[in-house]
Amino acid sequence: MTLVKAARWFSSVLVAASAVASAATPDDQSVSLGHHQFESSCAMCHAVEKSKGNIVGPNLAGVVGRKIGKLSGFQYSAALKDSKGAWDEASLDAFLKNPQAAQPGTAMPFAGIRNDEDRRALITYLKTAR
């Protein structure tokens, strides 16, 4: 191997190594943990792909930043329909921790996720659902 070839080989190894390193950022890890959470706790009632529409619960594509209880074509409880504001990290966190405490009277039949890490990961995942 000439010196030039060796240098090229070495730099391509470095590029490959940094690609691998950046593929597993903490954010990616929470997205995959959040995806897992979603599949086990939410997917029976909610779709995240827009094309799948509403199931038992409203479609959650783009839910972070969306107005609370206003997706057209879904019959919300009065609790969510009359709720003001939009879903952001804080309101989602409170709702997913204890739906009835955060939105009294909601028809979402879900007890809540007590683990803070799990909720954080789930919200990180929901942000990717556009």
**Which stretches of the chain bind ligand HEC, using CB under 6 A?**
41-42, 44-46, 56-58, 60, 63, 68-69, 71, 76-77, 79-80, 87, 96, 106-110, 113, 122
State the nearest-atom distance from the C-beta of 38 to ligand HEC, in Å.
Answer: 6
Q: Is 39 left (phi over 0), alpha (psi -120 to 50) or beta?
A: alpha
State the nearest-atom distance from the C-beta of 5 to ligand HEC, in Å.
Answer: 53
3 state DSSP class of 37: helix
Q: Which is nearer to ligand HEC, 5 or 84 (CB)?
A: 84
Per the CB < 8 A criterion, the answer to whether 26 and 117 are in contact is no
Q: Which is nearer to ligand HEC, 16 or 44 (CB)?
A: 44
- Distance in angstroms (rounded) separating the CA atoms of residues 101 and 40: 22
